[in-house]
Each structure stands twice: as structure tokens, then as C-alpha cells.
Amino acid sequence: MMFLHRVSIRPRHLDDWLATWPQQLHDLQRHGFTHHQAYLQEHAEPKLTWLYSHPDASPAFPAPVAEATPHVFGNLVIRPVRVELLADVAPLPDRTVCLRRYSIVGDWQEFLAIWRRIVVVRERYGFRCLFAVADQPKDLFTWAFDFEGDWDDFAALQRPYYRDPERVELRRVFDHMADYTLDPARHLAIAEANE
């Protein structure tokens, strides 16, 4: 079972929270979890988006790492999610991650059929899809892609992509999105925890 872990880190606590990251990885691994990907949004208050799995559908979660607790808000959400895409790609230093979250309305299967075609077009323009997960009971869809360049380059890099006739045809994806966010994020290292 795949889980999506989301929590906000308190302002001016990021460095202290990051110091607890290896222990957080270790504690979950010790309880049979496998880490897949983790990203940190930092443009406002920092937010963690972390994907990990467990062979059991209802695993026992360890208590939060005591040293991390003072550095996060009480808005921790851990939800089971269905994986739509999980790329086995290494983070690259010259690429920027874009994390997107959608509130979905309407037919999920129709939305996903459109989204899958969007991924193909995005990848033709150098946007590498990293993961996508669906939380249908909460009508949330979370995904990330990366691109070569900085966040300041993002708008210019997207122009040719959005002008592509195939992408123009897929604009109806917005019929399924009640709300959405897109934010720059950075990859958090997890590889050593799984070894």
C-alpha cells in the first residue's frame, strides 16, 4: 500500500527539522516501510510531500520522531493513495521540480485518461514526470515533474508546450479541476535509507 505523507514545517524551523530527516527515514524503514520519493516546498512555509509504501494495507505507524515534533505544525496527513505513475529516476542537479495538487470534480476515469495524454505531451517538451498519486476518497490528485532550468524559467519553458495542438486539445482537463496548486520543490534524499 502506498501512502502520501504531507505536513507543514514551522517558519524558521526548517534547518532543525532537516536534521531529524535521517531519523524519520530510519524509523519508518524499521517498521517495514519503503521510501520512494520526498519533496520539500519552500516558497512560503515549507511543506513536505513524501511517498512511502508498506506490504500491509493497514500497517502500524511508528510514533513521530520526538525531535521533529516541535518543528512541524499539527496538520500531518497520511493517506493511502493509488499510484498512477512512479518513475525510477535519479534527481538531477540542473533540474527544478514542480509539485502539483488538484481538487478533482467529475469522473475520475475521464480525468485520468486526459492526464495520461498530457504526460506524454509534457515529456516531449522536456518535463520529466516523477510521480502521480490519486486519493479518490478526498478527490485529490498529486503529481510532480521536473524540468531543466530554474523556477524563473518555468513560464517561458511552458509556452511551446501549451501551444502544442495536442495539448490545446486537452484543455478540457480543467473541467475536472475545482482548484489546483503548483509550487517549486526540491528533492529530499532517501536512497541511503532503503539500502
How confident is the model over 150-185, as pLDDT tens digits? 999 999 999 999 999 999 999 999 999 999 999 999
Secondary element (H or E) of residue 80 = strand 77-86
Contact indicator for 128, 146 with CB cutoff of 8 Å: yes
CATH code for residues 2-81: 3.30.70
Query: Could you tell me which CATH class the domain 85-185 is placed in?
Result: alpha beta
Which residues does residue 152 pair with via DSSP β-bridges, in sequence order?
A: none
Where do the H-state alpha helices sit in 32-92? none
- In this prediction the pTM is 0.94
Domains 2-81 and 85-185 share a fold: yes
Query: Domain locations in the chain?
Result: 2-81, 85-185
State the pairing for strand pair 95-104/128-135.
unpaired
